Amino acid sequence: MSKAIVFDLDGTLVDSAPDLMDSHNFVMRKHGYEPKPLSDIRFLAGRGASNMVLRSLNEAKKGFDPKLHKQMTDDFIKHYTDNLSKNSKEIKGVTEFLKWGQSQNISFAVCTNKLEYLAKKLLKEINLIHFFDFVAGVDTFEYKKPDPRHLTQILEIMDIEKHNTIMVGDSETDAETAKSAKINFVLVANGYTEKDKDNIHHDYFINDFDEMKGVIDKMRFLS
């Protein structure tokens, strides 16, 4: 019987915050705003360019201009598209786990609120794209996380039952998606979130992917 693991991308498979922050600060400087240290905005790294820019504009307290917000978001995406893998690195143990999972005939997919073409580009540039049977971005369907249909539509396309699926993510958005879909959820440590693990729903918790095989054994996922 087919098994699948569906992963979030930013903060789960890849520590992409450094490149996202570089693009954020490029846009801030271009439009006359102060740049920020990574620690101030890392938790927003998985929320998309628009939300990162909006948060900084609101904190600047200069009044909100929707045209400026759109221009800065467009500039962010353009800069990030050209620089998205300069400093991004996979989370510890990812490649080894994905190779092992393939040997166990587990299918893999990505469910991310990153634009689909950016998600695929990042996965390609860090040499992970070949592990995944399907990549769904924020613009792939008419809905996005935490709407559970973002996840369940992937499973329908892959023809995988929910009870044969695990979702892995790093934030409350991923947790809410999996919980609403009634799918087991594994939370990855040090995610892009302001909440600690005790305040995020999860069935299992891992510090990195070196621990993932042990979780699968506990779940009897391959039994």
- Active-site amino acid positions: 8
Please name which of 46, 171, 157 lies closest in space to residue 109, comparing C-alpha atoms: 157
Question: 80-85, long-range: CB within 8 Å, 24+ apart, which pairs?
Answer: 80/19, 80/20, 80/23, 80/49, 80/118, 81/118, 81/121, 83/19, 83/22, 83/23, 84/16, 84/19, 84/118, 84/121, 84/122, 84/125, 85/19, 85/121, 85/122, 85/125, 85/126
Q: What is the 3-state secondary structure (H, E, C) of 100-115?
A: HHHHCCEEEEEECCCC
Q: Which residue has the tokens 């990549």?
A: 135
Query: What's the rounded Cα separation, in Å, for the pair 147 and 28?
Result: 31
Query: What's the rounded Cα separation, in Å, for the pair 11 and 128?
Result: 15
The number of CA neighbours under 13 Å toward the Cβ of 12 is 29
Query: What's the rounded Cα separation, in Å, for the pair 171 and 8?
Result: 9
